[in-house]
A and B are shown apart, each in its own frame.
Chain A
Amino acid sequence: MGGIVELQIVGGDAAAPARIEAMFAAHEQVLSRFRSDSELCALNASPATPFRTSPLLFDVMSEAAGWACVTGGVFDPTVIDALEANGYDRPFDRIAHGTAVLPRPPAAAGRWRRIAFDFEHETITLPADARIDLGGIGKGYTVDRAIATLGAAANAMVNASGDLYAAGDGPDGDGWYVGVQDPFSPDDDMVVLNVNDRGVATSGSIKRHWTAGDARYHHLIDARDGHSSSSDLLSATVVALTATQADVLAKTAFLLGSQHGLRMVERFAGAECIAVTAQGHVLMTTGMAEYFA
């Protein structure tokens, strides 16, 4: 999934790390758009046809469509053509600055509405003009599944490149301490959170960006116009009930920007957000400070 997965387990069984590592590998094999033999690529190659999926792909797809609905299409798993047109057509570490950028595809927001799910036969039918990228939800989803394998009483933390879930009371019994990256000084924390039984994720444009000519591109696409978002935020960090929810809401908050993003997060029970604008202002939802260590 393009990064390092960190696992901390307090107590628990010794076989858990290997089991979780295998789970991440299995999920990547199903959900990656960069593996030509993945199940997702097979689905993308079969538009306008009922495609029988594995339970995993069906579940992640239905979650993604559900979040697209809940966020009014701000979170949109069908923006893959815009990503590719902007140059993100290969794993990020292989994108070279100065990469060729194709003419923008016409904006076609709302294609996620035309994805058809057949729950009885577990088939998915994509619209003829839509392909799927699950990069916006796959890591959070897998983190949640990994934690679930440890049982309800788990005291553990799974962190997939910054998208994490902290279960239980932590190694010292007083919760898990989670540093939040300062986008102006990426090696430093701007604040440390103290959480238990919460997902945490951060989204922003400071890492996955590249240039073409004089233009700067990044991977967070505004589905309304197919361009890299011109959000006034540099990063958005969300604490939520699950890692999936934190992952999706962090991206959505970033895309909506300072004016609407935090208000959107506040609509979700148990979700809080801290965001940093390009001007250096720190914005928080009203309950965020309760998580400060």
Chain B
Amino acid sequence: MNLKKNLGTKIAACIASIGALAAVWGLVYQNPPPPAASAQAETSPAAATPTVTQRKAAPAATPVTTQRHTRTRVS
């Protein structure tokens, strides 16, 4: 086997492989993991718009201020 044959091409392929590995490492370790399934919003089966959230998820996801000037309610 002639190791010197096409040496430039082999070096370039090696560098490309190292770069690809670095990219994969970056994707795996530099991004946060996805949230647990229980914390995710449940998407409407009808797709295409309204966000549907489990009732108990809304207050947890939304810091509710204790300040309130007025109130809307069923009348």
Interface size on B, residues (CB 8 A): 26
Q: A163 to chain B: which residues have CB within 8 Å?
A: 72, 75
Interface residues of A, dominant DSSP = strand
| A202 with B51, Cβ < 8 A, contacts A171-B69, A192-B67, A259-B46 known | no
A202-B70 in contact (CB<8A)? no
Q: B57 to chain A: which residues have CB within 8 Å?
A: 282
Docked pose: A262 CA to B47 CA in angstroms: 12
Q: B74 to chain A: which residues have CB within 8 Å?
A: 162, 181, 183, 186, 202-208, 235
B75-A3 in contact (CB<8A)? yes
Docked pose: A176 CA to B64 CA in angstroms: 14
Which 9 A-B residue pairs are closest in the complex by CB-CB distance? Answer: A181-B73, A204-B74, A161-B75, A262-B50, A162-B73, A179-B71, A293-B65, A280-B55, A179-B68
List, sorted by A's number, 13 A–B pairs whose CB atoms are closer than 8 Å. A164-B70, A179-B71, A180-B71, A192-B64, A202-B72, A204-B74, A281-B52, A282-B52, A282-B53, A283-B44, A289-B51, A292-B64, A293-B67
Chain A interfacial positions (CB closer than 8 Å to B): 2-3, 6, 8, 139, 157, 159-164, 166, 170-171, 176-181, 183, 186, 189-192, 194, 200-208, 235, 237, 259, 262-263, 266, 273, 276, 280-286, 288-289, 292-293
